């Protein structure tokens, strides 16, 4: 990627991210909640997204839920998260004109077809991750959304994390100087049944978990010039799952390494994101609950030279900020923080890191 294009990309992303440090909404008293729905309940984050919709009744009214699998629907109907909601077909939900937003929470193979239908019917969408397996299909959906001035909000889970918001602002404000190295890891250990599910995608752990980190890397560094993947299977006698993954992103004067495995014992405690620059370093470890260390070469913005443990506000919920922003965009109160250009750059980098075709 040409350096001038990278600068333009980063400046556009920075302007959006810096415009909204913490989502603050206008007073909602006297305003009707936004009518929303959810299509699909099988995505790993589906329950959490519905729980967040229902957590903010002043912002959202859940009109309906769609689940095409009768057995899955029966299980979800009796769960606390979905209890008391109206179940309907996809066609019924999308035909309701005053439903403005849809959370797309299907299995990965159905994410893009459902997202496309939502955009075609004029709905803003929260699209869970990753954005399917076809870059061209996602590009077509993004183009249609831009033409209709509809929001596609990707479900990457660190965008509203206070530690990452601090990181993004520090990088954009130049506190770290020129960033020359990023290192990040996101791992866990999964059971055999989950391994079987994940093995259907060649990208394995990188495709499943690494996508969250790649979203943040692209926000900090921009799209990479080159991606080299080192994906391995530690149990070839059992399955084909790439369960031990590393990707190296190359830039003109920098590199980024992204590691993800699903064979690390208690991997969640060691999840981390480190950005090193010519003037300082930020280390977030673990990512949730977040802990952030800021190291500076000289006094900057009230922080003295040396290493500081930064006290950040506790997250009220992993998806709270995202869904508050979703409402704010629909109501015209906030600009979109992450553009389709960013999301497409993330998806292209993810597919390369997963050694999956760009089709």
Task: Name which of 325, 337, 323 is nearest 49 in CA terms.
Answer: 323
From first to last of its 359 residues, the chain has per-residue pLDDT tens of 445 555 555 555 555 554 444 444 445 556 899 999 999 999 999 999 999 999 999 999 999 999 999 999 999 999 999 999 999 999 999 999 999 999 999 999 999 999 999 999 999 999 999 999 999 999 999 999 999 999 999 999 999 999 999 999 999 999 999 999 999 999 999 999 999 999 999 999 999 999 999 999 999 999 999 999 999 999 999 999 999 999 999 999 999 999 999 999 999 999 999 999 999 999 999 999 999 999 999 999 999 999 999 999 988 999 999 999 999 999 999 999 999 999 999 999 999 999 999 99
Burial profile 136-159: b = 16 or more Cβ within 10 angstroms, e = fewer: ebbbebbebbeeeebbbbbbbbbb
Which residue from 159, 163, 157, 354 is spatially nearest to 274, judged by alpha carbons? 163
Looking at residue 2, its pLDDT comes to: 45
Q: Is 213 helix (H, G, I), strand (E, B) or coil?
A: helix
How far is it, in rounded angstroms, from Cα 322 to Cα 330?
12
CB atoms within 10 A of CB 77: 15
CA neighbours closer than 13 Å in the CB half-sphere of residue 232: 8
Note whether 160 and 321 are within 8 A (CB). Answer: yes
Residue-wise DSSP of 32-91: PPEEEEEE-S-STTHHHHHHHHHH-TTTEEEEEEE---HHHHHHHHTSTTTTTPPB--HH
1-156+318-337, which class in CATH? Answer: alpha beta
- What are the DSSP calls for 1-47, one per residue? --HHHHHHHHHHHHHHHHT-SS--PPP-TT-PPEEEEEE-S-STTHH
Kindly report, as residue ranges, where domains of CATH 3.40.50.720 are found in the chain. Answer: 1-156+318-337
Where in the chain is CATH 3.30.360.10?
161-314
143, 105, 135, 126: which is closest to 337 by C-alpha? 126
Q: Give the pLDDT of residue 298.
A: 97
- Token pair for 245: 């993954």
Place of tokens 């030279």: 305
C-alpha 284 chain-centroid distance: 17
Architecture of domain 161-314: 2-Layer Sandwich (3.30)
Tokens standing for 176?
């770290």
Structure token pair of residue 24: 């603050």
- Per the DSSP assignment, residues forming a β-bridge with 152 are 125
């Amino acid at each position: 990627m040409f350096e001038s294009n990278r600068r333009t990309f980063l400046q556009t992303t920075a302007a959006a991210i810096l415009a909204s440090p913490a989502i603050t909404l206008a007073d909602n008293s006297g305003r009707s909640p936004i009518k929303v729905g959810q299509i699909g309940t099988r995505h790993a984050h589906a329950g959490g997204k519905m729980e967040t919709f229902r957590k903010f009744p002043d912002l959202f009214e859940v009109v309906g839920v769609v689940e095409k699998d009768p057995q899955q629907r029966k299980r979800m109907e009796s769960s606390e998260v979905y209890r008391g909601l109206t179940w309907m077909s996809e066609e019924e939900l999308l035909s309701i004109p005053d439903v403005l937003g849809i959370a797309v929470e299907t299995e990965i193979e159905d994410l893009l077809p459902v997202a496309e239908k939502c955009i075609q019917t004029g709905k803003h969408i929260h699209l869970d991750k990753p954005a399917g397996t076809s870059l061209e299909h996602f590009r077509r959906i993004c183009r249609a959304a831009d033409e209709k001035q509809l929001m596609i909000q990707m479900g990457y889970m660190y965008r509203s994390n206070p530690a990452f918001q601090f990181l993004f602002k520090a990088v954009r404000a130049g506190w770290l100087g020129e960033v020359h190295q990023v290192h990040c890891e996101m791992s866990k250990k999964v059971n055999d049944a989950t391994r079987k599910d994940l093995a259907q995608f060649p990208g394995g752990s990188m495709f499943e978990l690494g996508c969250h980190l790649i979203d943040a890397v692209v926000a900090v560094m921009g799209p990479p010039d080159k991606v080299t993947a080192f994906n391995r299977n530690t149990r070839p006698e059992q399955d084909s799952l790439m369960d031990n993954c590393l990707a190296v992103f190359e830039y003109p004067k920098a590199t980024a390494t992204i590691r993800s495995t699903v064979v690390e014992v208690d991997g969640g405690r060691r999840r981390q994101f480190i950005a090193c620059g010519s003037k300082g370093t930020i280390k977030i470890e673990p990512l949730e609950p977040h802990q952030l260390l800021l190291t500076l070469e000289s006094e900057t913005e009230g922080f003295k030279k040396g290493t500081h443990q930064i006290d950040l506000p506790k997250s009220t919920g992993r998806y709270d900020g995202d869904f508050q922003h979703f409402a704010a965009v629909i109501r015209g109160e906030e600009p979109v923080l992450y553009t389709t250009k960013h999301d497409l750059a993330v998806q292209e980098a993810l597919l390369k890191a997963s050694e999956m075709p760009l089709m």
